[in-house]
Amino acid sequence: MTQMSDEQFRILIETIRALAPIKDDEPQSKGSFSNCPVRFSGQRDHDAVDEFITAVETYKEVEGISDRDALKGLPLLFNNIAVVWWKGVRRDAKTWEDAMQLLRDHFSPTKPSYQIYMEIFETKQGGGEVIDSFICKQRALLAKLPDGRHDEETELDFIYGLMQPKYRESIPRHEIKSFRELLDRGRTVERTRH
């Protein structure tokens, strides 16, 4: 067995450290977007952009893709005009967050609140539309408003007034305190009234 002096041991440790790979602040990436099925073609549609970003960020997280590798691989997910757009803005995207913000800013400009309100109030529940579908669509519109704009009670008032009369006649508004209650009561109405 070979013995080392303290000085020899210190030199050995320093040499090993010097030869070891330098650790980045960012964890090593485990995947890439090469097998990601999601694509974006550049449609100017808030919902399409939102769905794309949600799907890509979920895939990125599940596959353990680092922000740096995700930024490099993002063009793999673009088609048509989105490819051309990316070529023009890629230098502006220094981080993953920058890229997602650029995507939102260009393809999904925020609608002004008044337009969202117009959409909400011009969409009454259709004759054959089930309560789940109607409330889901209306809440998705409400979610596009700035955070904290309305409490749940006010949002319930908006949606309640747009529901079919058969629901309003069976469900007194003052008895409903949450969307969960409204959905439960609405489903009961659907089961009992065919």
Query: What distances in angstroms separate CA 59 from CA 42, 81, 158, one per listed residue?
Result: 20, 23, 35
pLDDT tens-digit series, residues 119-163: 999 989 988 889 989 999 999 889 888 888 888 999 999 999 999
Q: What is the pLDDT of residues 155-189, one digit of tens each?
A: 999 999 999 998 999 999 999 999 999 999 999 98
Total-model pTM = 0.55
CA distance 185 to 191: 10
Query: Which residues are 78's β-sheet partners?
Result: 40
Question: For the chain, how long is the longest CA-to-CA vector?
Answer: 91
Alpha helices in 20-163 (DSSP H): 46-63, 67-73, 81-89, 96-107, 113-121, 131-142, 152-162
122: its two tokens: 């011009």
